[in-house]
Amino acid sequence: MELRLTSSNHFRLQEPAMYEFSYEVHDAPSGSDFGHREERDGDVAWGSYEVLLPDGRKQIVDYQADQNGYNPSIRYEETGYPAATRAGGPY
């Protein structure tokens, strides 16, 4: 990896971005259940994120982001879990 100082005093990477990450959160006391995964190679990123909704369904967003913009595809799955009976979180 090479860093160069540009005239506007910002560092710029001189190679294409390439990464992948993921995380999941399952917290029964708060009712939180969500996750995200993403990969990127150069100017194209793709991945998905999901969240358990208060009505018991899981919302899943698959996406690709590139020079043409952000292109999501949204779907829902029945989980068999009952709808939340109280607001989640300690707030």
SS3 readout for 19-85: EEEEEEEEECCCCEEEEEEEEEECCEEEEEEEEECCCCEEEEEEEEEECCEEEEEEEEEECCCCCCC
What mean pLDDT do residues 20-36 have?
Answer: 93
**pLDDT higher than 80, residue 2:** no
**pLDDT grade for 91, boundaries at 50, 70 and 90:** very low
Please state the pTM of the whole predicted model.
Answer: 0.72
**pLDDT higher than 60, residue 26:** yes
What mean pLDDT do residues 34-55 have?
Answer: 96
